[in-house]
Structure 1
Amino acid sequence: MSIDSIYKIRAWHSFVQETVHELGPSPEQPLVKAAVAVVFENPFAGRWVEDLSPLTDASAGLGTELGERAVALLGGRPVESYGKGGLVGVNGEQEHIVACVTTVFGNALRDAVGGGTAWISSASKVAGTGASIDIPLAFKDEVYVRSHYDAITLTLPDAPRPDEIVIIAAVATGGRVNARVGGITVADVTARG
Protein backbone atom coordinates (compact mmCIF):
# COMPACT_ATOMS: atom_id res chain seq x y z
CA MET A 1 0.00 0.00 0.00
CA SER A 2 1.52 3.33 -1.10
CA ILE A 3 -0.45 6.02 0.68
CA ASP A 4 1.13 9.37 1.48
CA SER A 5 1.89 10.13 5.12
CA ILE A 6 -0.40 13.19 5.06
CA TYR A 7 -3.21 10.64 5.49
CA LYS A 8 -2.93 9.31 9.03
CA ILE A 9 -5.27 6.34 8.63
CA ARG A 10 -7.33 5.06 11.55
CA ALA A 11 -9.65 2.54 9.87
CA TRP A 12 -10.87 0.84 6.70
CA HIS A 13 -14.51 -0.20 6.18
CA SER A 14 -15.77 -2.54 3.43
CA PHE A 15 -19.35 -3.04 2.26
CA VAL A 16 -20.92 -5.51 -0.19
CA GLN A 17 -24.54 -5.60 -1.28
CA GLU A 18 -25.71 -8.47 -3.51
CA THR A 19 -29.20 -8.29 -5.00
CA VAL A 20 -30.49 -11.59 -6.33
CA HIS A 21 -34.14 -10.62 -6.86
CA GLU A 22 -36.45 -7.60 -6.97
CA LEU A 23 -40.08 -7.38 -8.09
CA GLY A 24 -40.50 -8.98 -11.50
CA PRO A 25 -38.07 -11.30 -13.28
CA SER A 26 -34.89 -12.42 -11.57
CA PRO A 27 -31.69 -11.08 -13.13
CA GLU A 28 -29.42 -13.46 -15.02
CA GLN A 29 -26.65 -12.51 -12.61
CA PRO A 30 -26.94 -10.90 -9.17
CA LEU A 31 -26.19 -7.18 -8.99
CA VAL A 32 -23.21 -6.70 -6.71
CA LYS A 33 -22.38 -3.27 -5.33
CA ALA A 34 -19.32 -2.73 -3.17
CA ALA A 35 -17.76 0.22 -1.39
CA VAL A 36 -14.62 0.81 0.61
CA ALA A 37 -14.13 3.70 3.02
CA VAL A 38 -10.91 4.93 4.56
CA VAL A 39 -10.96 7.03 7.73
CA PHE A 40 -8.07 9.36 8.48
CA GLU A 41 -7.14 12.39 10.54
CA ASN A 42 -8.07 15.71 8.95
CA PRO A 43 -4.83 17.74 8.92
CA PHE A 44 -6.82 20.96 8.47
CA ALA A 45 -9.53 20.37 11.10
CA GLY A 46 -10.52 23.43 13.08
CA ARG A 47 -8.63 25.99 11.01
CA TRP A 48 -8.91 27.87 7.73
CA VAL A 49 -6.31 26.85 5.16
CA GLU A 50 -6.29 28.50 1.74
CA ASP A 51 -4.13 25.92 -0.02
CA LEU A 52 -5.61 22.41 0.14
CA SER A 53 -3.23 21.02 -2.49
CA PRO A 54 -1.43 18.74 0.00
CA LEU A 55 -4.63 16.67 0.17
CA THR A 56 -5.04 16.71 -3.63
CA ASP A 57 -1.44 16.12 -4.66
CA ALA A 58 -1.13 12.93 -2.59
CA SER A 59 -4.55 11.48 -3.40
CA ALA A 60 -3.53 9.05 -6.17
CA GLY A 61 -2.49 6.51 -3.56
CA LEU A 62 -5.93 6.71 -1.97
CA GLY A 63 -7.63 6.26 -5.34
CA THR A 64 -5.55 3.22 -6.16
CA GLU A 65 -5.94 1.51 -2.80
CA LEU A 66 -9.68 2.18 -2.50
CA GLY A 67 -10.25 1.05 -6.10
CA GLU A 68 -8.27 -2.16 -5.70
CA ARG A 69 -10.03 -3.02 -2.46
CA ALA A 70 -13.47 -2.33 -3.97
CA VAL A 71 -12.75 -4.46 -7.04
CA ALA A 72 -11.62 -7.33 -4.81
CA LEU A 73 -15.01 -7.26 -3.09
CA LEU A 74 -16.72 -8.02 -6.43
CA GLY A 75 -15.19 -11.51 -6.42
CA GLY A 76 -13.76 -11.42 -9.94
CA ARG A 77 -16.77 -9.78 -11.58
CA PRO A 78 -15.97 -6.79 -13.84
CA VAL A 79 -16.79 -3.22 -12.83
CA GLU A 80 -19.53 -1.52 -14.84
CA SER A 81 -20.29 1.43 -12.55
CA TYR A 82 -18.38 3.59 -10.13
CA GLY A 83 -18.75 6.50 -7.74
CA LYS A 84 -16.86 8.36 -5.04
CA GLY A 85 -17.42 10.68 -2.13
CA GLY A 86 -16.90 11.20 1.52
CA LEU A 87 -17.73 12.63 4.89
CA VAL A 88 -15.86 15.14 6.98
CA GLY A 89 -16.27 15.60 10.71
CA VAL A 90 -17.78 18.78 12.11
CA ASN A 91 -14.39 20.43 12.70
CA GLY A 92 -13.69 20.24 8.96
CA GLU A 93 -15.35 21.51 5.82
CA GLN A 94 -16.79 19.90 2.71
CA GLU A 95 -13.93 21.33 0.64
CA HIS A 96 -11.52 19.04 2.52
CA ILE A 97 -13.29 16.01 1.03
CA VAL A 98 -13.43 17.51 -2.44
CA ALA A 99 -9.68 18.19 -2.30
CA CYS A 100 -9.14 14.46 -1.78
CA VAL A 101 -11.31 13.25 -4.68
CA THR A 102 -10.33 15.49 -7.62
CA THR A 103 -8.86 14.33 -10.93
CA VAL A 104 -5.67 13.04 -9.29
CA PHE A 105 -7.73 10.63 -7.18
CA GLY A 106 -10.21 9.92 -9.99
CA ASN A 107 -7.59 8.93 -12.55
CA ALA A 108 -5.99 6.52 -10.07
CA LEU A 109 -9.40 5.07 -9.21
CA ARG A 110 -10.20 4.55 -12.91
CA ASP A 111 -6.92 2.70 -13.41
CA ALA A 112 -7.55 0.53 -10.34
CA VAL A 113 -11.01 -0.56 -11.49
CA GLY A 114 -10.00 -1.43 -15.04
CA GLY A 115 -10.60 1.84 -16.84
CA GLY A 116 -13.47 4.18 -17.44
CA THR A 117 -14.04 7.26 -19.57
CA ALA A 118 -17.01 8.89 -17.82
CA TRP A 119 -16.65 11.42 -15.04
CA ILE A 120 -17.10 9.83 -11.63
CA SER A 121 -20.29 10.75 -9.77
CA SER A 122 -19.62 12.15 -6.32
CA ALA A 123 -21.26 13.13 -3.03
CA SER A 124 -19.79 14.81 0.02
CA LYS A 125 -21.00 16.33 3.27
CA VAL A 126 -20.07 17.54 6.73
CA ALA A 127 -21.47 15.04 9.22
CA GLY A 128 -21.37 13.69 12.73
CA THR A 129 -20.22 10.24 13.74
CA GLY A 130 -22.57 7.55 12.47
CA ALA A 131 -24.04 9.58 9.61
CA SER A 132 -25.18 7.87 6.42
CA ILE A 133 -24.19 8.86 2.91
CA ASP A 134 -25.45 7.76 -0.49
CA ILE A 135 -22.56 7.33 -2.91
CA PRO A 136 -23.92 7.74 -6.45
CA LEU A 137 -23.08 5.19 -9.11
CA ALA A 138 -23.04 5.65 -12.89
CA PHE A 139 -21.81 3.63 -15.88
CA LYS A 140 -18.03 3.97 -16.09
CA ASP A 141 -17.84 4.72 -19.81
CA GLU A 142 -20.84 7.03 -20.36
CA VAL A 143 -22.54 8.91 -17.58
CA TYR A 144 -25.85 9.12 -19.49
CA VAL A 145 -26.59 5.37 -19.40
CA ARG A 146 -29.79 5.71 -17.39
CA SER A 147 -30.01 2.04 -16.35
CA HIS A 148 -26.91 2.51 -14.21
CA TYR A 149 -28.07 5.54 -12.20
CA ASP A 150 -27.90 4.07 -8.73
CA ALA A 151 -26.29 4.48 -5.31
CA ILE A 152 -24.94 2.55 -2.37
CA THR A 153 -25.69 3.76 1.15
CA LEU A 154 -23.00 3.57 3.81
CA THR A 155 -23.12 4.20 7.54
CA LEU A 156 -19.93 4.10 9.55
CA PRO A 157 -20.81 3.69 13.23
CA ASP A 158 -17.53 5.17 14.48
CA ALA A 159 -16.77 7.82 11.85
CA PRO A 160 -16.21 10.53 11.04
CA ARG A 161 -15.06 11.79 14.40
CA PRO A 162 -14.95 15.61 14.55
CA ASP A 163 -11.34 15.80 13.30
CA GLU A 164 -11.56 13.09 10.62
CA ILE A 165 -12.19 12.66 6.91
CA VAL A 166 -13.79 9.59 5.32
CA ILE A 167 -13.13 8.96 1.62
CA ILE A 168 -15.19 6.34 -0.21
CA ALA A 169 -14.95 4.52 -3.55
CA ALA A 170 -17.89 2.45 -4.80
CA VAL A 171 -18.29 0.04 -7.71
CA ALA A 172 -21.05 -2.14 -9.16
CA THR A 173 -21.30 -5.03 -11.60
CA GLY A 174 -24.23 -3.58 -13.52
CA GLY A 175 -27.24 -1.33 -13.58
CA ARG A 176 -30.38 -1.49 -11.51
CA VAL A 177 -32.17 -4.84 -11.46
CA ASN A 178 -35.00 -4.71 -14.03
CA ALA A 179 -34.11 -1.18 -15.23
CA ARG A 180 -36.60 -0.26 -17.96
CA VAL A 181 -36.99 3.50 -18.35
CA GLY A 182 -35.17 3.83 -21.67
CA GLY A 183 -32.28 6.00 -22.74
CA ILE A 184 -28.80 5.12 -23.94
CA THR A 185 -27.81 1.52 -23.15
CA VAL A 186 -24.50 -0.16 -22.44
CA ALA A 187 -24.84 -1.84 -25.85
CA ASP A 188 -25.18 1.59 -27.51
CA VAL A 189 -21.95 2.76 -25.85
CA THR A 190 -20.12 -0.44 -26.77
CA ALA A 191 -21.25 -0.17 -30.41
CA ARG A 192 -19.87 3.41 -30.61
CA GLY A 193 -16.49 2.05 -29.57
Structure 2
Amino acid sequence: MPDVKIRKMVESLEETWHEGGARAEKPYRRAWIMAVIENPFAGRYEPDIQPFMEDLKPLGLKMAGRLIKMLGGAEVVEGYGKGAIIGAGGEIEHGALWHAPGGYAMRELIGRERSAAIVPSTKKVGGVGARLDVPVTHIQASYVRSHFDSIEVGCNDAPRADEMALILVMTDGARVHSRAGGLEASQIEGKDGLR
Protein backbone atom coordinates (compact mmCIF):
# COMPACT_ATOMS: atom_id res chain seq x y z
CA MET A 1 0.00 0.00 0.00
CA PRO A 2 1.11 3.59 -0.50
CA ASP A 3 2.48 5.69 2.34
CA VAL A 4 0.07 7.96 4.18
CA LYS A 5 0.70 11.41 2.73
CA ILE A 6 -0.44 14.18 5.12
CA ARG A 7 -1.07 17.63 3.66
CA LYS A 8 -2.14 19.26 6.92
CA MET A 9 -3.32 18.73 10.48
CA VAL A 10 -5.95 20.93 12.09
CA GLU A 11 -6.98 20.85 15.75
CA SER A 12 -9.26 22.75 18.07
CA LEU A 13 -10.03 22.93 21.79
CA GLU A 14 -13.28 24.47 23.02
CA GLU A 15 -14.20 25.30 26.64
CA THR A 16 -17.82 25.98 27.61
CA TRP A 17 -18.49 27.56 31.01
CA HIS A 18 -22.28 27.88 30.74
CA GLU A 19 -25.22 27.54 28.36
CA GLY A 20 -27.27 30.36 29.83
CA GLY A 21 -27.46 28.99 33.37
CA ALA A 22 -25.03 29.36 36.24
CA ARG A 23 -21.32 29.31 35.44
CA ALA A 24 -19.88 25.79 35.87
CA GLU A 25 -17.11 25.18 38.39
CA LYS A 26 -14.99 23.81 35.55
CA PRO A 27 -15.59 24.15 31.82
CA TYR A 28 -16.80 21.37 29.56
CA ARG A 29 -13.93 20.80 27.16
CA ARG A 30 -14.27 19.41 23.64
CA ALA A 31 -11.31 18.80 21.36
CA TRP A 32 -10.96 17.61 17.80
CA ILE A 33 -8.21 16.89 15.35
CA MET A 34 -8.30 16.40 11.59
CA ALA A 35 -5.65 14.95 9.32
CA VAL A 36 -6.02 15.85 5.65
CA ILE A 37 -4.34 13.12 3.64
CA GLU A 38 -4.04 12.04 0.05
CA ASN A 39 -6.68 9.47 -0.91
CA PRO A 40 -4.71 6.75 -2.74
CA PHE A 41 -7.94 5.43 -4.29
CA ALA A 42 -9.34 8.73 -5.61
CA GLY A 43 -10.52 8.71 -9.20
CA ARG A 44 -10.69 4.95 -9.60
CA TYR A 45 -12.41 1.89 -8.23
CA GLU A 46 -10.10 -0.35 -6.20
CA PRO A 47 -11.61 -3.66 -5.03
CA ASP A 48 -9.00 -4.36 -2.32
CA ILE A 49 -8.75 -1.36 -0.01
CA GLN A 50 -8.50 -3.07 3.40
CA PRO A 51 -4.68 -3.10 3.62
CA PHE A 52 -4.73 0.72 3.84
CA MET A 53 -6.29 0.41 7.31
CA GLU A 54 -2.99 -0.97 8.58
CA ASP A 55 -1.17 2.01 7.07
CA LEU A 56 -3.51 4.38 8.92
CA LYS A 57 -2.83 2.93 12.40
CA PRO A 58 0.24 5.09 13.20
CA LEU A 59 -1.71 8.19 12.14
CA GLY A 60 -4.57 7.22 14.44
CA LEU A 61 -2.19 6.86 17.38
CA LYS A 62 -0.52 10.19 16.63
CA MET A 63 -3.86 12.01 16.43
CA ALA A 64 -5.28 10.36 19.57
CA GLY A 65 -2.11 11.24 21.48
CA ARG A 66 -2.38 14.89 20.49
CA LEU A 67 -6.04 15.01 21.55
CA ILE A 68 -5.30 13.44 24.92
CA LYS A 69 -2.52 15.97 25.48
CA MET A 70 -4.88 18.85 24.57
CA LEU A 71 -7.37 17.69 27.21
CA GLY A 72 -4.73 17.16 29.89
CA GLY A 73 -4.25 13.39 30.00
CA ALA A 74 -6.03 10.11 29.31
CA GLU A 75 -7.54 10.04 32.80
CA VAL A 76 -9.77 13.06 32.06
CA VAL A 77 -11.23 11.78 28.77
CA GLU A 78 -14.90 10.78 29.14
CA GLY A 79 -16.29 11.02 25.61
CA TYR A 80 -15.13 10.18 22.09
CA GLY A 81 -16.09 9.86 18.44
CA LYS A 82 -14.63 9.70 14.95
CA GLY A 83 -15.47 10.66 11.40
CA ALA A 84 -14.25 11.12 7.85
CA ILE A 85 -14.98 13.46 4.98
CA ILE A 86 -13.96 11.96 1.66
CA GLY A 87 -13.21 14.29 -1.25
CA ALA A 88 -15.40 14.11 -4.36
CA GLY A 89 -12.95 11.88 -6.23
CA GLY A 90 -13.41 9.14 -3.63
CA GLU A 91 -16.26 7.06 -2.28
CA ILE A 92 -17.98 6.64 1.08
CA GLU A 93 -16.33 3.24 1.52
CA HIS A 94 -12.95 4.96 1.77
CA GLY A 95 -14.21 6.65 4.95
CA ALA A 96 -14.99 3.23 6.42
CA LEU A 97 -11.25 2.53 6.42
CA TRP A 98 -10.92 4.94 9.37
CA HIS A 99 -13.18 2.91 11.70
CA ALA A 100 -10.54 0.57 13.08
CA PRO A 101 -7.41 2.79 13.00
CA GLY A 102 -9.20 5.77 14.54
CA GLY A 103 -11.32 3.97 17.10
CA TYR A 104 -8.72 1.50 18.31
CA ALA A 105 -6.09 4.22 18.63
CA MET A 106 -8.26 6.19 21.05
CA ARG A 107 -9.21 3.11 23.03
CA GLU A 108 -5.58 1.97 23.26
CA LEU A 109 -4.27 5.32 24.52
CA ILE A 110 -7.20 6.00 26.88
CA GLY A 111 -6.91 2.46 28.22
CA ARG A 112 -9.01 -0.46 27.05
CA GLU A 113 -10.26 -1.09 30.59
CA ARG A 114 -11.76 2.42 30.60
CA SER A 115 -13.11 2.49 27.04
CA ALA A 116 -15.54 -0.40 26.60
CA ALA A 117 -18.12 1.56 24.59
CA ILE A 118 -18.12 1.50 20.82
CA VAL A 119 -16.64 4.65 19.29
CA PRO A 120 -19.51 6.35 17.41
CA SER A 121 -18.75 7.57 13.93
CA THR A 122 -20.01 9.25 10.81
CA LYS A 123 -18.69 9.79 7.31
CA LYS A 124 -19.62 11.38 4.03
CA VAL A 125 -18.34 12.41 0.64
CA GLY A 126 -18.04 16.20 0.48
CA GLY A 127 -16.40 19.06 -1.33
CA VAL A 128 -13.82 21.57 -0.20
CA GLY A 129 -14.97 23.21 3.04
CA ALA A 130 -17.51 20.48 3.89
CA ARG A 131 -18.46 20.25 7.55
CA LEU A 132 -19.22 17.10 9.53
CA ASP A 133 -21.08 16.64 12.80
CA VAL A 134 -19.11 13.96 14.64
CA PRO A 135 -21.12 12.11 17.34
CA VAL A 136 -19.82 11.75 20.89
CA THR A 137 -20.74 9.16 23.52
CA HIS A 138 -19.33 8.17 26.90
CA ILE A 139 -16.17 6.02 26.66
CA GLN A 140 -17.45 3.35 29.08
CA ALA A 141 -21.17 3.14 28.39
CA SER A 142 -22.99 4.29 25.27
CA TYR A 143 -26.30 4.89 27.11
CA VAL A 144 -25.01 7.72 29.33
CA ARG A 145 -27.21 10.58 28.05
CA SER A 146 -25.26 13.37 29.73
CA HIS A 147 -22.39 12.69 27.33
CA PHE A 148 -24.41 12.53 24.09
CA ASP A 149 -23.03 15.32 21.93
CA SER A 150 -21.68 16.13 18.50
CA ILE A 151 -18.82 18.32 17.41
CA GLU A 152 -18.94 20.17 14.11
CA VAL A 153 -15.63 19.81 12.29
CA GLY A 154 -14.34 21.22 9.05
CA CYS A 155 -11.50 22.95 7.25
CA ASN A 156 -11.84 25.77 4.73
CA ASP A 157 -9.60 24.17 2.08
CA ALA A 158 -10.25 20.47 2.57
CA PRO A 159 -10.89 17.87 1.48
CA ARG A 160 -9.83 18.38 -2.11
CA ALA A 161 -11.21 15.84 -4.58
CA ASP A 162 -8.21 13.54 -4.12
CA GLU A 163 -8.08 13.77 -0.31
CA MET A 164 -9.57 12.35 2.87
CA ALA A 165 -10.14 14.36 6.04
CA LEU A 166 -9.86 11.94 8.96
CA ILE A 167 -11.22 13.11 12.32
CA LEU A 168 -11.06 12.17 16.00
CA VAL A 169 -12.92 13.94 18.81
CA MET A 170 -12.77 13.73 22.61
CA THR A 171 -14.48 15.42 25.54
CA ASP A 172 -13.73 15.59 29.25
CA GLY A 173 -17.18 15.32 30.81
CA ALA A 174 -20.91 15.78 30.56
CA ARG A 175 -22.55 18.64 28.69
CA VAL A 176 -22.76 21.81 30.75
CA HIS A 177 -26.07 21.84 32.68
CA SER A 178 -26.89 18.27 31.59
CA ARG A 179 -30.36 17.40 32.90
CA ALA A 180 -31.98 15.06 30.35
CA GLY A 181 -32.11 12.12 32.77
CA GLY A 182 -31.29 8.53 31.92
CA LEU A 183 -28.23 6.58 32.96
CA GLU A 184 -25.72 8.72 34.86
CA ALA A 185 -21.96 8.21 34.61
CA SER A 186 -21.91 7.29 38.30
CA GLN A 187 -24.35 4.41 37.55
CA ILE A 188 -22.24 2.67 34.89
CA GLU A 189 -21.99 -1.07 35.52
CA GLY A 190 -19.22 -1.55 32.96
CA LYS A 191 -20.30 -4.95 31.70
CA ASP A 192 -21.10 -4.52 28.03
CA GLY A 193 -20.13 -1.03 26.84
CA LEU A 194 -23.79 0.00 26.89
CA ARG A 195 -24.67 0.46 30.58
Normalising to structure 1: TM-score of the pair?
Answer: 0.91
Instruction: Give the match for residue 31 of structure 1.
Output: 28
Residue 160 in structure 1 maps to residue 159 in structure 2: yes
Tell me how far 1:149 sits from its aligned partner.
0.4
Shift in Å at residue 151 of structure 1?
1.1
Distance 2:167 2:150 in 1: 12
Task: Give the Cα separation in 2 of the matches to 1:6 and 1:161.
Answer: 18
Instruction: Name the counterpart of 1:178.
Output: 177
Counterpart check, 1:12 vs 2:9: yes
Identify the residue that residue 79 of structure 1 maps to in structure 2.
Answer: 77
Contact 1:55/1:100 (<8 A) preserved? no
Q: Secondary structure at the match of 1:165?
A: strand
In 2, Cα distance between the equivalents of 1:5 and 1:184?
45
Give distance in 2, aligned partners of 1:18 and 1:5.
Answer: 38
Residues 191 and 42 (structure 1), Cα distance of their counterparts in 2 relative to 1, 3 Å cut: closer
Letter of the 2:153 counterpart: L
- Structure 1: 5+ residue runs without aligned partners? none
Residue 119 of structure 1 aligns with which residue? 118
Number of residue pairs the alignment of both structures matches: 189
Q: Secondary structure at the match of 2:60?
A: helix
Q: Give, in whole Å, the separation in 1 of the partners of 2:128 and 2:68.
A: 27
The one-character-per-residue Cα deviations of 1:63-90 (angstroms, maximum 9, x if unpaired) are 2111101111113471000000010100
Q: Any idea what SS the aligned residue of 2:133 has?
A: strand
Whole-angstrom CA distance in 2 between matches of 1:94 and 1:175:
31
**1:37-186 aligned within 5 A:** 37-76=34-73, 78-102=76-100, 104-115=101-112, 116-186=115-185
- Secondary structure of the residue aligned to 2:53 is helix
Contact 1:70 1:171 in 2 (8 A): yes
Deviation at 1:61, TM superposition (A): 1.2
Determine the C-alpha separation between the residues in 1 that align with 2:81 and 2:40: 24
Superposed CA RMSD: 1.9
Q: Residues of 2 paired with 1:93 and 1:20: CA distance?
A: 39
Give me the identity figure in percent.
Answer: 38
Residue 10 (structure 1) shift: 0.7
Whichever residue aligns with residue 80 of structure 1, its letter is E
- Residue segments in structure 2 that go unaligned for 5+ positions in a row: none
Query: TM-score, with normalisation over the residues of structure 2?
Result: 0.90
CA drift of 1:109 comes to: 1.8
Q: CA deviation at 1:33?
A: 0.2
State the SS of the aligned residue for 2:188: helix
Structure 1 stretch 109-118 or stretch 176-185: which is displaced more? 109-118
Shift of 1:181: 1.1
Residues 12 and 37 in structure 1, CA contact (< 8 A), matched pair in contact too: yes
Q: CA deviation at 1:5?
A: 5.6
Shift of 1:191: 8.0
Structure 1 distance, partners of 2:190, 2:43, is: 51
Q: Distance in 2 between matches of 1:88 and 1:43?
A: 11
